Amino acid sequence: MNSFQNSNEFQNELFTKLNLENEKITDKLFFDCEFHNCNFSYSDFESTLFEDCSFFNCNFSLSKIVRTQIRGVVFNHCKIIGVDFQKCDRLMIDFNLEECNIKSCVFSDLSLKKHSFHKSDLIECDFVNTDLSETNLSESDFSGSLFDNTNLFKANLKNCINYNINPLNNNIKKAKFSLPEALTLLDAFEIQIQ
């Protein structure tokens, strides 16, 4: 944390095994930085900018991202629990998640068009009024996640499991699904397939 106190701007830096649990990291600028095996649980990133940064095996459990700008960021094998992405700067939100463990996060009312949530566990997450058009959601687990008025136009949901998407309440036009899980889309029609 000492290096964070000495500067407000960081560029092309590599951070490894930082333990910033319960820390307040506000008004900082990170450009092209990499974070490996860092613990940001319960941290507060208010008014912070992450641009073209990568996070590998980091823990963001119950982190706060109020007015945080996330642009061109990659999360890989990260643990992200209880984070409300609605509170970040909505004009500066651009990220991709690869093989992450995501639980009880809020993505409602966000435009996440052409983002990626590939091979991730998205457990009990909220996607109400979210634009996920052309987004790669493939090979993900959506147990308990909520989709309502969600735009999934041309989204890739191949080999996804445990989703409950009502085609009457969500736009699934030209979205890609795989059998047998795609049969759950018929649940809303209360029909019997024999």
In tens, the pLDDT along 37-46 reads 999 999 999 9
- Provide the pLDDT for residue 69: 95
- pLDDT mean over 144-163: 97
Taking all residues of the chain, what is their mean pLDDT, rounded to a whole number?
A: 94
User: Which pLDDT value is given to residue 184?
Assistant: 84
pLDDT digits (tens, 9 = 90+) for 3-12: 566 789 999 9
- 188, pLDDT greater than 90: no
Least confident of 3-12, 134-143, 178-187: 3-12
DSSP states of the chain: -HHHHH-SEEES-EEES-B-TT-B--S-EEES-EEES-B-TT-B-TT-EEES-EEES-B-TT-B-TT-EEEEEEEES-EEES-BGGGS-TTSEEEEEES-EEES-B-TT-B-TT-EEET-EEET-B-TT-B-TT-B-TT-B-TT-B-SS-B-TT-EETT-BS----TTTSB-TT-EE-TTGGGGGGGGGT----
What's the predicted TM-score (pTM) here?
A: 0.91
